[in-house]
């Protein structure tokens, strides 16, 4: 028998997760402030709710995929009034502080909080191939594990709220750092006269390979599309959250601070709609070169 699930936030990531859960036989009530985002999922059988509270009113599990910590906290506040919800699962990248605040908010209502941020992008969400970094109370974790396993591979990181968020922030910092350093390295090679495709082939057979050289550059930069699908604004938000957490823990992040600055500059130059790969264009402009062409 399927679980009754309220799912708040059905954008690029949330919609893929909801479709997977419906296909697995679960009953979904969905809400998103963008009404048009809900229509394709309604066609799959989801109930379109009028609010997050309305979605939670008939559901035993609530899940969220929202832009950041403020939205995650507000969603938790709205579902806290539900007499039905027993577990709240935040799949957003909202940070450890938000996860801890959400757990404290929901505990008096006898609602368990699981922070379960995901990695794998839109493609991973649609295919059920996400990496899910989860933490929270063991009984609640075991209840929602079958739901999370529909979405990808679950890595349980402990009982303490926020541990999943901590690992996700570290992952996203490393991903952004890989893109920034690869952009500088490729710009140096191109400026010296090396073909970027040939350079990437060497790098990907060598110790310098990373997610940017293996995926972002070959598929989204050399062809000049800059369409990886993860917003620079979200990357900037995640790295800021990561550095805030590191500072609170007393961990120096010298390299991380440089990455944050690069993301900030990209945001200022290319705007809120910029793709994360637009950071490469900043480096190209400074170096006076172009990595790849439309003919690549």
User: For residues 217, 221, 226 and 232, what is the CA-based torsion angle, rounded to 10 degrees?
Assistant: 50
Asked if residue 138 lies in contact with residue 159, where contact means CB atoms within 8 angstroms, the answer is yes
| Token code pair at residue 265 | 């500059």
| Token code pair at residue 16 | 């893929």
| Token code pair at residue 255 | 């390299």
Indicate if 168 belongs to the active site: yes
Nearest-angstrom CA–CA distance, 11 and 234:
13
| DSSP alpha helix (H) spans, the chain | 12-23, 39-43, 52-56, 69-79, 96-106, 121-127, 138-151, 163-192, 196-203, 211, 232-249, 254-270, 279-287
From the list 84, 168, 191, 237, the catalytic residue is 168
Q: Which of 250, 64, 253 is nearest to 165 (CA)?
A: 64
How many other C-beta atoms lie within 10 A of the C-beta of residue 198? 10
Active site amino acids: 168
């Amino acid at each position: 028998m399927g679980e009754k699930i309220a799912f708040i936030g059905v954008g690029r990531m949330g919609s893929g997760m909801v479709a997977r859960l419906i296909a697995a036989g679960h009953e979904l009530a969905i809400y998103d402030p963008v009404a048009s985002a809900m229509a394709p999922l309604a066609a799959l059988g989801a109930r379109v709710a009028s609010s997050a509270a309305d979605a939670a009113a008939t559901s035993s599990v609530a899940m969220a995929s929202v832009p950041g910590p403020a939205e995650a906290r507000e969603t938790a506040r709205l579902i806290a009034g539900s007499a039905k919800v027993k577990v709240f699962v935040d799949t957003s990248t909202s940070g450890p502080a938000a996860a801890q605040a959400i757990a404290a908010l929901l505990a008096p209502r006898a609602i368990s909080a699981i922070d379960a941020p995901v990695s794998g992008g839109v493609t991973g969400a649609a295919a059920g191939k996400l990496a899910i970094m989860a933490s929270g109370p063991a009984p609640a974790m075991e209840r929602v594990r079958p739901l999370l396993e529909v979405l990808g591979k679950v890595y349980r990181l402990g009982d303490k709220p926020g541990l999943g968020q901590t690992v996700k922030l570290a992952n996203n910092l490393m991903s952004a750092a890989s893109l920034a350093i690869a952009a500088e390295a490729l710009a140096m090679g191109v400026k010296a006269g090396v073909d970027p495709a040939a350079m990437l082939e060497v790098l990907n057979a060598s110790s310098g390979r990373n997610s940017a050289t293996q995926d972002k550059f070959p598929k989204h930069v050399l062809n000049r599309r800059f369409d990886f699908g993860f917003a620079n604004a979200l990357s900037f938000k995640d790295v800021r959250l990561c550095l805030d957490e590191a500072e609170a823990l007393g961990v120096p992040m010298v390299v991380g601070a440089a990455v944050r600055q690069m993301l900030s500059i990209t945001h200022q130059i290319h705007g809120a709609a910029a793709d994360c790969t637009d950071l490469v264009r900043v480096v190209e402009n400074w170096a006076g070169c172009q990595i790849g062409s439309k003919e690549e």
